[in-house]
Amino acid sequence: MIKKLIRSIKEYKRSTLLTPIFMVLEVAMEIIIPFLLAKLIDQGINQGDMDVILKIGGELLIAAFLSLFFGVQSGKNAAIASAGFAKNLRQDMYEKIQKFSFFNIDKFSTSSLVTRLTTDVTNVQQAFMMIIRGAVRAPITIIFAMLMAFTTNANIALVFLIASPILGALLILIAKKAHPIFERVFNTYDKLNNVVQENVKGIRVVKSFVKEDKEIKKFEKVSKSIYKDFSKAEMLLALNNPLMQFTIYTCITLISWLGAKCIVGGTLTTGELTSLISYAMQILSSLMLLAMIFVMITIAAESSERIIEVLDEEPDLKNGNNPVMEVKSGSIEFKNVSFSYVKDRNKLCLKNINLNIAEGQTIGIIGGTGSSKSTLVQLIPRLYDVSDGEIRVGGINVKDYDIKVLRDSVSMVLQKNELFSGTIIDNLKWGNKNATEEEIIRACKLAQADEFINGFIDKYETYIEEGGANLSGGQKQRLCIARAILKKPKILILDDSTSAVDTKTDSLIRKAFAREIPNTTKIIIAQRISSVEDSDNIIVLDNGEINGIGTHEELLKSNEIYKDVYESQVKGGTSNE
């Protein structure tokens, strides 16, 4: 698992390696300093020897400055390495996501992808910094300090050799016990956030039903359970500090006693006793650090698993060998096509579809919710792969094309109109980044968008807010259509893309299509009969199957569903006029 993440370190390998190296040097200095100090006391101050004091003092100063230098270098490199690592992780994930097919995206859901790119990366970044600094520092300190302690006096050093594993085990035990409680706390946190979010979003409902008090009680209940769980977890962690102190104090007492005996017995000097005690402190606080790192790693482990899931996900759509690099014509052919989102033959959304659409034709598709209209058209630009059968565009199986080439020739306006924050021009240029002003204006005129754009003060430079919040539904739809036209596609697909446009503009758009882009194959999914009635052919989809194909007149005669929809809409529109 770790191996996969490590790959993302890339150009930050140097900093990643320098951090622990400088850290080791810093720790070495930190170990040498108490050693020199002991000498300063024993040989310098206690003897009143100024020369020795100055000499050792000089050495000490050098050691301190070196330690400062190493510490700063290590800290600096740690910052560079961890921030860079996080950057690369995000970049790698983002690039991977760009390769995802619709199937991959559906599998993860957008909100979980967002969390993985943000919170999870931050968790891993913090753990990474902890590891390259602390995970090196703590064991090295322990080893160095142990070595020094044993060379000073092996018998006394045994005291902490015994004490440290016991303390370490206890600290990790506490952390392990607290972990599930913390996990529960975070789940409850989600619940609390959910209550707040629902209330902020639905404040008009709360206020108009006068339910403020009920909501406050609901919140207090969740808030109370957080209080309970969190106190419980923290009380468990409250054992940490006293446990630590207990070990330190026990060691000090034992070392004092044993040390005194040794000094009296002549096997230890007083200066050595002082440094032994400071070694004990170093070892024990390093253990504390190790326990903390352990907790960090458990938190980060879950996050890294979620990151690796993204990095490991295989895009299920790939270019074949020797892909075809040109789409010659806009004809479409469905041959016994079946499709399932979950790749399960028993859960088919499309069953045995056969279709033939000639270049330049206009095709309407009608059908209720769940009749798989969108699914059908999404197979044409290979947003999903068919489960069975094949689809040919321009006579060639869509799987044989280069995916980018295919999608550049098949332009699709999705049901959910997504515009991005930026100017209108920025958004339109998605269709073709080299589009000239004339081309842009022509596309907008075609989509009947030019007029309202010119009504804005900043015209084509008007800034669109995130999600197109400052545009009406109909305006958004028309911009999306213009954007799709700019690609100069061989096939243009509108997935319920004029629902918010008034009927007159709707018909103007269709007339412009017929006049200006006669050779483009046009597929129009709609709820309104009026949007499809003048198509060359209309497909009635029901439950993933073709219920009928024909012109408006033919279907009115032969197709029950079509007749039904037609009547309900016409009745709504013409009586009383």
Partner 1 sequence: MNKEKKLDKSTLKRLFGYILKKYKFQFFIVMILVILSSLTNVASSLFLQSLIDDYITPMLSETNPIFTPLLKALSTMACIYLVGILSTYLYNRIMAKISQGTLKSIRDEMFANMQKLPIRYFDTHTNGDIMSYYTNDTDTLRELISRGIPQIVSLVVTIVSTFIAMIYTSVYLTLLVIVILCIMLKVTKDIGGKSSTYFIRQQESIAKANGYIEEMINGQKVIKVFSHEEEAIENFKRINDSLCDDTTLANKYSNILMPSLANLGNIQFVLIGVVGGLLAINGIGGLTIGAIASFLNLSKSFSMPITQLAQQINLVVMAIAGAKRIFKLMDEEKEVDNGYVTLVNAKNVDGNIQEVDHYTGMWAWKHKHHDGRLEYVELKGHIELTNVDFGYQENKTILHDISLYAKPGQKIAFVGATGAGKTTITNLLNRFYDIEDGKIRYDGININKIKKADLRRSLGMVLQDVNLFTGTIKENIKYGNENATDEEVYEAAKLANADQFIMHLPNGYNTMIDGNGGSLSQGQKQLISIARAALNNPPVMILDEATSSIDTRTEKIVQDGMDKLMNGRTVFVIAHRLSTVRNSKAIIVLDHGRIIERGNHEDLIKQKGVYYRLYTGAFELE
Site string for partner 1, 464-503 (x = CB under 8 A): --xx----xxx--------x---x--------x--xxxxx
Segment lying near partner 1 (by CB under 8 A), choices 69-77, 157-165, 300-308, 533-541: 69-77
Of 154, 169, 173, 203, the one binding partner 1 by CB under 8 A: 203
**The pair of three-digit structure tokens given for residue 44, joined into one six-digit string:** 């310098």
Q: Site size for partner 1, by CB under 8 A?
A: 153
Which range, of 139-147, 156-164, 194-202, 512-520, touches partner 1 by CB under 8 A? 194-202
Helix (DSSP H) and strand (DSSP E) numbers for the chain: 22, 12
Residues whose CB falls within 8 Å of the CB of residue 535, separated by 6 or more in sequence, listed in order: 362, 363, 364, 524, 551, 552
CA 156, 162, 165, 168: dihedral to nearest 10 degrees? Answer: -70
Please report, for residues 17, 22, 75, 147, 187, the alpha-carbon distance to residue 70 in angstroms, rounded to integers and kept in the order given.
Answer: 14, 5, 8, 22, 42
* Residue 86 touches partner 1, criterion: CB under 8 A: yes
Q: Using N-to-C axis directions, what is the helix angle for 473-485 and 437-446, rounded to 10°?
A: 130
Q: Give the contacts of 159 (CB within 8 A, at least 6 positions apart).
A: 251, 254, 255, 258, 280
Hey, which residues between 415 and 454 contact partner 1 (CB under 8 A)? 416, 418, 420-421, 430-431, 433
Q: Binding segment for partner 1 among 227-235, 334-342, 454-462, 548-556 (CB under 8 A)?
A: 227-235
- One symbol per residue from 290 to 329: x for binding partner 1 (CB under 8 A), - otherwise; what is it? ----------------------------------------
If 0-12 CB within 10 Å is exposed, 13-18 middle and 19+ buried, where does residue 255 land? Answer: buried
224 or 343: whose CB is closer to partner 1?
A: 224
**Closest distance of CB 56 from partner 1, Å:** 8
Which of the stretches 3-11, 155-163, 255-263, 301-309 binds partner 1 when contact is defined by CB under 8 A?
255-263
Q: Closest CB to partner 1 among 67 and 123?
A: 67
Helices (H), 109-153: 110-115, 121-130, 136-152
Which of 154, 249, 328, 518 lies at the binding interface for partner 1 (CB under 8 A)? Answer: 249
Q: Is 105 in the site for partner 1 (CB under 8 A)?
A: yes
Q: Is 1 in the site for partner 1 (CB under 8 A)?
A: no
Binding to partner 1 by residue 504, rule CB under 8 A?
Answer: yes
| 105: three-class secondary structure by DSSP | helix
Among 155, 241, 267, 454, binds partner 1 (CB under 8 A): 241
Asked if 173 interacts with partner 1 (CB under 8 A), we say no
Which CB sits closer to partner 1, 197 or 354?
A: 197
Nearest 5°: the CA angle 97, 112, 348 is: 75
CA dist 542 and 367 (Å) reads: 6
DSSP H helical segments within 202-323, as ranges?
A: 203-208, 212-237, 240-265, 270-312
Count of all residues that appear for the chain in the document: 577
Specify the residue, 65 or 518, whose C-beta has the smaller distance to partner 1.
65
Separation CA 552–CA 363 (nearest Å):
11
195/549 with CB nearer partner 1: 195
Binding mask 23-62 for partner 1 (x = CB under 8 A): ---x------x---x--xx--xxx-x-x--xx-xx--xx-
